Structure 1
Amino acid sequence: MKVIYLHQYFATRNSTTATRTYEIAKKLVQKGHQVTMITTDAFLESEIPFKTTHYYREYLIDGIVVKAQRNHYENKMGFYRRTWAFLKYMHFAYIQGRKSDGDLLLATSTPLTIAIPTLMLHVSKSLDYIFEVRDLWPEAPKQMGIIKNPILLKGLSYLERTVYRHAKHIISLSPGMTEGILAQGIKRQKVTMIPNFSDLSLFQPQHIQTELQAELIKQLKLQDKFVLLHLGAMGEANGLMYLIEAAKILQKKGQQQIVIIIGGDGKVRASLQQACQSAGLTNVLLTGYIKRKNVPTMTSIANITMTSFKNLPVLATNSPNKFFDALAAGKPIIVNANGWTKEIVEKNQIGYYVRPTHPEDLALLLVTLQNKKQALRALAPKIRAIAQQNYSAEHLTDQVETILVQQWRNIHEN
C-alpha cells in the first residue's frame, strides 16, 4: 500500500515537539508500506535533506520519504502569520499530493485547514482518505476567542462537516473528540478513538542521560528540591498563568523547597517571564525548548508532573502528549481539566485533580506531597504498566495500520 500522509508539523525525536506522526509513519514502513510525508520543515532543523530547492527539502527518515516545504512556524506567531503559514502549506500539500503516487491518503489536523488540500486531492485524484482529528476545530478557537468572525466560524464549521462526511474513516484522539465528531452527524462505526501514545521505547532507563541529568540538577539548583514539571507547548490553551499564581502562593508561604519547572516555548512564554519578574519569584524555572530525545532525562528530575489547560469545556477533550509521556516515564500526574484525563488519574490512583480556577489547590497539594517523595516514586511500576496496557505506541500504531489496510481493502473490493 502506498500512503500519502499530510501533516503540517511532522517531527522526529531530534525535534522539539510531539512525534505521533513519525511513529505512525515508521510503523507503516516497518509493515512494508510506502509512505510519502508532505509537511513543512518547521520542526526538521536537525535533519539532513538529500535534496534542497528554493521552496522545499526532501529527506529520507527511517524509510519515510519526506517532502518538506520551507515554512517557518512557531506557537508564538500571531494570527495573521499563522494564517499565512497555513495557506502556504495548503498550496504545497495539494501540489505535492498531485505529484505523489498513492493508494490512500492519511491527513491529520491541526490546523483544520489541512481539510482543504485533503478534499481537493480526494476530488482531483479520486483518492480516498482517513482523517485524524487532534483538536475540535473550530470549536476550540471559538471558545478561546481566537476566531470571533461569525462568517469565518460558519465557514470552518461547514469545512469540518464536509471533511468528516467524505472520509472513509475518522480517527479521534479522545472520547470527547469522538462525541464532538458524532455531533456533526457522523455514524459511530465510522470513528475510532486512538489516543496519543506513551512512547515506552523512548522512556527507557538507557535513554536517561546521567551526565545531562546531573548538569540540569546542578544548573537549576534542584538538589533536595521537590520538583513539579510542566513540559510542552506554552500556548494560551495551556493556561500556564495558573502555575505562576500557585508559585506566588508557595513563595508567600515560604515553601522554598518546592520548584515549578515550565519547559518548552510558545506564545505566552514572555508574559510568564514578565509575571515571574514582577512578582520576584525564585521558585519558577522556564527552560525553553527541550529536544524530544532529551525529554526522558528532563522528566526524570521531576517528582511529579502537571498537565494544565485553560478552563474551557473543549480543552477537557484534549489528548495531551505531556500526559502520555508522564505515563511512559512512570511519573504521577496532576491535571486541572475536568475531563477524561481526570478520570484516568483518579480511577487508577496515579495522580491528582486540582480546580483550574483555584491555584491555591495546586499550592496546597504540593505542600502536602513534598514529604511523600518515596510514595510518589513507588507508583512508577504501576503507572508504566497502565501505559503499557492501554497507551503503548507499539500497540496503537498497529491499530492505525489496521484501519488503513482495512479501508484500502474495502476500496479495492468495491
Structure 2
Amino acid sequence: MHIAVFSQYHTNPDCPATSRHYSLLTQIAQQHRVTLITTRTWEPQRLTERFPWLPEGVEMRAAAVPYQNNMGPARRVLSFGQYAAYALREGLRINKPDVIWGISTPLTAAWAAAQVARLRRVPWVFEVQDLWPSFPIAMGAVPSELARRELYKLEGRLYQQARAIMTLSPDMTSYVQQVGTGATSRWAFDPSKVHTVLNGTDLDLAATATDAAVAALRQEQGLEGRQVILYAGTFGRANDIPTLVAAAERLALVCPNVVWLFMGHGYHEPLLRAAAGRCSAIRLVPAQPRHAVFTWFRLADVSVVSFLGLPVLDANSPAKFYDSLAVGTPVIVTNEGWTKSLVEQHKCGWFTPAGNAEKLTERLAEILRNPAQLRTAGAAGQQVAATHFDRQRIGQTIQRILEQAC
C-alpha cells in the first residue's frame, strides 16, 4: 500500500521536538510504501546527528518554507499558505497513493491533503493534532469575523470529507464528533469514524534515562541535594509562562532548596531570561534533542504542564505530559480537561487552576515536602504510560485505521 503523508513539520529525535511521526512512520514504512510531503523547517535545528533524518523506507518531498514560534499572525499565514501550495503541487506529481494521511496543524495542511485526495480519487484520513481554527481564534489570531466563519466552514467540510478522523485526546474526539452530530450542524458525518489515538511517548527512549545518566546530569548541572521542578517545551503564548515565573519566585521564598528548570525556546524566552537574572531559583536550559529529554524529566521531582485557562486548550495532548510520566516523574496540570481527569483517576499527578500562581505555589510546596507521595505518584504514572502511552501500540492502531480507510 502506498501512503502519502501531508505534514508541514517533520522532525527526528535529534531535534528539540516530540518526533511523534518519526516513530510512527518508522513502524509503518516496514510494511508499506510511504511518501512524506513536508518542509525543511526543522532540519537546520538538529542538535545532534544520532538518527537518520528520515526513517528507512520513507521518501521525502520537502519545501524550504520557514516557520518559528515567535512569528506574528501574518507571517504564519504566509508560511501555511506556502506549504499548502507546495503540498498540493507535489501531491499531484507523486505516484498515485492508495490512501492519504493529512496532519494538522495547520488546517491548511489537511486542506491540501483533501484536495489531492479528491483530484486523484483516493480516500484520506485526517489527523487532528490541535483544534483548528478554535485554538487560533481563542488566542485572538483571527480578528476578522468573516475569516472566522470561513475557517469554521473549512473545518466542517474537512471532517465531513475524510474517510476517517484521528484525534490526539478524548476531549478532541468529543469536540469533532459534536461538529458532525450537533442539532444545527451543517456538516453531518458518522461519529464512529472519529478515533482517539493519543500523542503517546517513546518508551525505548525513556529507558535510556538510567540511574547513572541521571546522576551524571545532576552532577553536571550542580543540582546535588536540590529538589527540581521542570517545565520542558515551548515558551509559547498559550503556555502561561508568566504564571510559572510568578510561582517560581513565590516558591523560592518558602522552599529555598528548590530549583525551577525551564527547558525550551519560544515567545516568552526574554521574560524567562529576565526572571533567571533576578531569581537564583530559576534556570533557563537550552532546548534538548528528543532523545535526551527523558533524563531531564527523570532528574526532576515533579514537572509542570501548563496552559492558559481557555476551554479549547483543555483538549490538548502535550508530549511533555506523556514523557514525564514515562520516566516516573509525576505532573501538575493546569487544565480542566482529560489530563486533569487522568492524573486524578490514576493518582499520578495533581491539578491547579490555570493562571493562579498562588495555588500553584501552595500545591508545589505541599508535595515537595512529601517525598513518599512523589515516589508513589511517579510509580503510578509510569504504570499508566507503559499501559496506554506506548507509541509502538499507537502506531499499530494508526496503521490499521489507514488500511481500513484504503
2:205 counterpart of 1:202: yes
> What is the match of residue 245 of structure 1?
246
Q: What is the 5 A alignment of 1:109-128?
A: 109-128=104-123
Gap runs ≥5 in structure 1:
50-57, 409-414
1:273 maps to 273
Measured in 2, the distance between the counterparts of 1:222 and 1:134 equals 36
Report the alpha carbon displacement of residue 379 of structure 1 after superposing the two structures with TM.
4.0
Q: CA RMSD in A?
A: 2.1
Moved more, 376-385 or 144-153: 376-385
Q: Which moved more, 1:311-320 or 1:297-306?
A: 297-306
Query: Are residues 114 and 389 of structure 1, via their aligned partners in 2, closer, same or farther at CA, if it must alter by over 3 Å?
Result: same
Contact 1:59 1:66 in 2 (8 A): no
Moved over 4 A (4+): 207-211, 213-216
Distance 2:88 2:328 in 1: 41
Alignment of 1:63-74 (within 5 A): 63-74=57-68
Aligned to 2:34: 35
SS at match of 1:232: strand
Q: Secondary structure at the match of 1:183?
A: helix
**Partner Cα separation in structure 2 for residue 229 and residue 369 of structure 1:** 14
Normalised to the residue count of structure 1, the TM-score between the two structures is: 0.90
Alignment of 1:10-409 (within 5 A): 10-30=10-30, 32-45=31-44, 46=46, 60-101=54-95, 102-185=97-180, 186-204=189-207, 206-208=208-210, 210=212, 213=214, 216-218=217-219, 220-253=221-254, 255-277=255-277, 280-408=278-406
In structure 2, how many angstroms separate the alpha carbons of the residues matched to 1:59 and 1:12? Answer: 6
The one-letter code sitting in structure 2 at the alignment partner of 1:192 is: H
* Greater mean deviation of Cα atoms: 1-10 or 297-306: 297-306
Number of residue pairs matched by the alignment: 394
What is the TM-score with the length of structure 2 in the denominator?
Answer: 0.92
Work out whether residues 168 and 196 of structure 2, in 8 Å CA contact, stay in contact via their aligned partners in 1: yes
1:216 is displaced (CA, Å) by: 4.2
Secondary structure at the residue paired with 1:267? Answer: coil
Secondary structure in 1 matching 2:285: strand
Q: Partner of 2:150: helix, strand, or coil?
A: helix
User: For residues 322 and 60 of structure 1, do their structure 2 counterparts lie closer, same or farther at Cα, with a shift above 3 Å needed?
Assistant: closer
* Amino acid in structure 2 at the alignment position of 1:268: H
Post-superposition CA distance 1:14-57 (Å, at most 9, x none): 11111111122111112x101111111112234999xxxxxxxx
Q: What is the CA deviation profile of residues 187-242 of structure 1, one whole-angstrom value per residue up to 9, with x for unaligned ones?
A: 211100111112211100x355946x456434543221111111111111111111
What CA deviation, in whole Å up to 9, does each residue of 1:267-289 have, x standing for no partner? 12123323454xx2111112121
Q: Aligned partners of 1:269 and 1:338: how far apart in 2?
A: 26
Q: What letter corresponds to residue 201 of structure 2 in structure 1?
A: S
Three-state SS of the structure 2 residue aligned to 1:4 is strand
Question: After superposition, what is the alpha-carbon deviation per residue over 1:247-268, rounded to whole angstroms, capped at 9, x for unaligned?
Answer: 1212343x22111111111112
Distance 1:207 1:227, change over 3 A: closer
Letter in 2 for 1:259: V
Query: Whole-Å Cα distance in 1 between the matches of residues 253 and 141 of structure 2?
Result: 34
The 2-side partners of 1:132 and 1:37 are apart by 15
Q: 1:218–1:78: structure 2 CA closer, same or farther, 3 Å change rule?
A: farther
Counterparts of 2:349 and 2:15, CA distance in 1: 28
Residues of 2 paired with 1:133 and 1:60: CA distance? 22
Distance 1:351 1:28, change over 3 A: same
Match of 2:185 in 1: none
Kindly state the Cα deviation for residue 64 of structure 1 after the two structures are TM-superposed.
1.5
| Cα separation, 2, equivalents of 1:272 and 1:149 | 32
